[in-house]
Structure 1
Amino acid sequence: MTITLSAVIVDAADLESESFFWHRILGGTIHKTPTHHFLRIAGSPVVVIQQAPEHVPPQWPDGRSQQMHVDLSVDDLAAADRLAVEAGARRLRPLGDKALSATGSGVYASPAGHPFCMRAS
């Protein structure tokens, strides 16, 4: 038996801002329906942004559970940080945080509040 990951589903009250963000970060192509935006990236599972009008963003790490998060490998953390913030990400840890230099990673939230990390590869 083989099980493969075919898609990652992300809830968002605002489909446009959340799909713009992930498209800007990951590239690929978007197919839009009224309730879902499908981001297809060569060699990766589909990222589906799902309309969720009542979506309440996680308040991680100091409140409501993060539910899940995504880790992204990057070859230039400073450039990836700039791109993420320009695309609408919010830093959950300051870039100068000791954890960044110790772990080679940054911690962020997408426009809908979904946490993700970018780690130097």
Structure 2
Amino acid sequence: MVILDKMVSDRGSRYAVSGAPVAGRDGIADFLAGLKRDRKFARATHNSWACVLSDEGPVKNDDGESGAGAIILKMLEREGLTDHVICVTRWYGGTHLGGDRFAHVVTCVRAYLEHMRASGG
């Protein structure tokens, strides 16, 4: 599991991105359970994620951050990355961000994908 913490901070909201290779829906569930073992992530406002499973196709979950899962999924599909879950975590800071929240999701996923390319993953 790779976690890139403190990716974006905007009007009190903070973002992180994490991900890992997975095998099926059980792998996604194991990844999320492992992430949430860290109390910080368990208490986050949103853990939005997406994955393209080689045997089932695309799956996503906004976790209350409407539209975030679709953005992550679209980026995964463009990248051609399968059997790899990416999760963008947001800790809500008390101010609605409007459309800026989508830009922050994109920033986080881009950083994760760049990290994966740089590390050979």
TM-score by length of 1: 0.27
TM-score by length of 2: 0.27
Indicate the structure whose relative CO is greater, using CA pairs within 8 Å and at least 6 residues apart.
2
Higher-Rg member (1/2): 1
More helix per residue: 1 or 2?
2
